Amino acid sequence: MGKTFKEALASGKFVITANISSPKGVNVDSLINQVKFLKDLTDGLVVPDNLLATMTMSACAASRLVIENGVDPIMSLNCRDRNRIALASDLLGASLMDIKNILCVSGDHTKFGDHIDAKPVYDIDSVQLLGMARGLEKGRDISHNELNGYPQFCLGAVANPEADPLGPQLNKFDKKVQAGAEFFLTLPVFNIDNLKRFMEHARKSEVKILASIRVLVPEEVHKYADGSYPGLFVPEDVLEEIKDASIDKGIEVAGRLIRDIKDRNICDGINLMASGYEERIPDILKAGGI
């Protein structure tokens, strides 16, 4: 493995990460192929943790596989599926497996997934999870019990620059920074003015911000419009632009956003979300002038 994700963040370069998909089952061929394909294109790969409350392979196991295939993983860890004991336990386990980058999230509600009758846990939230992880680094669990051997993490969180109203989102952003987040992945952005407004606030802290760029798939326009994807707010004009077009149009829109963000130095990098179209990531980067 070359430079770690944390080193890339510290280097000042325009950081590029991408989301990968975990398998629903034990066949990891697709996961390994994604990692190998994206290895030289990215500074880290985001491993989902039962994304959209849809059960897939453990993020911890998948993240280890990412390491074994030469890339530094950013392991998502959600509060929906575990109480504080299980979260801390997974954090220690992740550390043992050399998984250092942890994306602390509350987690999409079970309503959106494939186990709608499962109990959503939310014993603690993402802010408290960040604080708990920082506590582990200092040798104490959340109930102040002493640890035998301390982990070290690079902790991240999410925020949504497209949130409306933005005030409550910024208040929570501040809490996440206070709790120990050192990097943020935004939810997918489409409106550069909204992103700039968010960044004006975010730049008051030292944290690194990667803007998520989602490749929109024309066949899914109705889902973007009806709220099927939590936190994904696609403006009407963009929906109109990609409707009835080919995936190339989605790539063009993504490229345009990347170019805007990079050329105007708005964020510290981007996180690509191209579920099902990972093989087009080189085209997306090219469209974005990278």
Partner 1 sequence: MIVAKRKPFQEIKELISGYKKILIVGCGTCVAVCLAGGEKEVAILSAQLKIALRLEGKAVEIKEITIQRQCDREFLQELKRQVDVADFDVILSTACGAGVQLLSDVYSEKVVVPGLDTAFIGVAEGPGIWSERCRACNQCVLGLTGGICPVTMCAKGLPNGPCSGARNGKCEVDPEKDCAWVKIYERLERLGRLDQIKEIVPPRRYSVQQNPAIAIHEAYKRRFDKDGKNV
Shortest Cβ 270–partner 1 spacing (Å): 17
117 binds partner 1 (CB under 8 A): no
Q: Which stretch binds partner 1 (CB under 8 A): 157-165, 197-205, 213-221, 263-271?
A: 157-165
| 182 in Cβ contact with 154 (< 8 Å) | yes
Q: Which stretch binds partner 1 (CB under 8 A): 92-100, 118-126, 249-257, 277-285?
A: 118-126
Shortest Cβ 62–partner 1 spacing (Å): 22
Q: Which stretch binds partner 1 (CB under 8 A): 37-45, 58-66, 154-162, 262-270?
A: 154-162
Shortest Cβ 41–partner 1 spacing (Å): 26
165 binds partner 1 (CB under 8 A): yes
Q: Which of 178, 248, 279, 286 binds partner 1 (CB under 8 A)?
A: 178
Shortest Cβ 160–partner 1 spacing (Å): 4
142 binds partner 1 (CB under 8 A): yes
230 binds partner 1 (CB under 8 A): yes
Q: Quickly count: other Cβ atoms within 10 Å of residue 228's Cβ.
A: 12
Q: Which of 108, 182, 268, 283 binds partner 1 (CB under 8 A)?
A: 108
147 binds partner 1 (CB under 8 A): no
Q: What is residue 81's DSSP assignment?
A: S
How far apart, in Å, are the Cα atoms of 84 and each of 1, 100, 199? 31, 19, 31
Supply the Cα-derived Rg of the chain in whole angstroms. 18
Tokens of 276: 């099902």
Following DSSP, what letter does each residue of 103-170 receive, concatenated? EEE----GGGSS-TTSPP--SS-HHHHHHHHHHHHTTB-TT-PBPSS----EEEEEE-TT-SS-HHHH
How far apart, in Å, are the Cα atoms of 228 and each of 43, 60, 79, 108, 222? 30, 27, 21, 11, 9
Q: Which stretch binds partner 1 (CB under 8 A): 217-225, 226-234, 270-278, 280-288?
A: 226-234
Q: What is residue 204's DSSP assignment?
A: T
Q: Which of 34, 69, 106, 271 binds partner 1 (CB under 8 A)?
A: 106
273 binds partner 1 (CB under 8 A): no
Tokens of 159: 């925020």
Q: Which of 3, 39, 134, 175 binds partner 1 (CB under 8 A)?
A: 175
Q: Which stretch binds partner 1 (CB under 8 A): 58-66, 159-167, 192-200, 240-248?
A: 159-167
What is the enclosing helix (H) or strand (E) of 73? strand 73-78
Within residues 16-55, the interface with partner 1 by CB under 8 A covers none
Among residues 266, 263, 284, the alpha carbon closest in space to that of 214 is found at 284
Q: Where are any strands of DSSP class E within 161-278?
A: 183-188, 208-214, 269-273
Q: Which residues are at the interface with partner 1 (CB under 8 A)?
A: 80, 84, 106, 108-109, 111, 120, 122-128, 131-132, 142, 158-160, 163-165, 167-169, 171-172, 174-175, 178-179, 187, 227, 230-231, 233
